[in-house]
Amino acid sequence: MLCDICGKNEATVHLTEIVNEKVSKLHLCEECAKEKGVEMEEHFGLSDLLAGLADLGANVEPELMDTVKCPFCKFTYNDFKKMGRLGCSECYEAFKAQLAPLLKRIHGSDRHIGKVPITLGKTIRDTRNLQELKIKMEKAIQAEQFEEAASLRDQIRELEKRAKNGDAK
């Protein structure tokens, strides 16, 4: 399929635009897609998107929007909504209650669950597994499923032993 704009190159990017309830599809080559991307960023930037998403289902009380401030850069939540960007890294902590639902909507989770550096990956995975096993064991004990709890306890001990010895599996 050829690019809808230049008609010369193979289309590798496929866009669907909905304007006034009318659906139109664009099939673009990489060059035309880059130009279209710049055009779309100028028209509707990422900061506008984030600011708009911040409004969706927000339970932020209007008086809190200007009173909750980042202690480091003095940014308010209202500033974030206007600009679509945070003022500094400390803003994440200052606006934690307001950002958690937004991050969950955008990423599907309010905590990082993506890739990590290889050197930290095993340690982080083991720590997460250990926490999950302990939670499962507590639930099994509460449900009086003692055989399951004993099995989970053994798994926890094995994981802790490997971590202590620095063994790789």
**Mean pLDDT to the nearest integer, 13-25:** 73
Q: What is the mean pLDDT of the chain?
A: 76
Beta bridge partners of 10: 2
- Nearby residues of 66 by Cβ (< 8 Å), 6 or more positions away: 76, 77, 78
For residue 7, give the DSSP letter: S
**Mean pLDDT to the nearest integer, 159-168:** 75
Tens-place pLDDT, residues 39-66: 554 444 444 455 555 554 445 555 555 6
- pTM, to two decimals: 0.37
Looking at residue 119, its pLDDT comes to 67
**Mean pLDDT to the nearest integer, 10-18:** 76
What's the rounded Cα separation, in Å, for the pair 78 and 66?
6
All structural domains of the chain with their residue ranges: 1-44, 49-107, 118-165
Looking at residue 46, its pLDDT comes to 47
Q: In this predicted model, which residue has the larger pLDDT, 151 or 46?
A: 151
Total residues found in the chain within this entry: 169
- Nearby residues of 155 by Cβ (< 8 Å), 6 or more positions away: 133
Backbone angles phi, psi at 35, to 5 degrees: -65, -45
What radius of gyration, in Å, describes the C-alpha atoms of the chain?
Answer: 24
Beta bridge partners of 16: 25
Q: In this predicted model, which residue has the larger pLDDT, 162 or 63?
A: 162
CB atoms within 10 A of CB 80: 24
Tens-place pLDDT, residues 70-93: 999 988 888 887 777 888 888 888
Going by CATH, does the domain composed of 1-44 fall within 3.30.70?
A: no
By CB atoms closer than 10 A (0-12, 13-18, 19+), residue 38 is: exposed
Sign of dihedral through CA atoms 148, 152, 157, 159? positive
Residue 156 pLDDT greater than 80, yes or no: yes
pLDDT band at 164 (very low <50, low <70, confident <90, very high): confident
Looking at residue 154, its pLDDT comes to 94
Q: Which tokens is 46 given? A: 């990422």
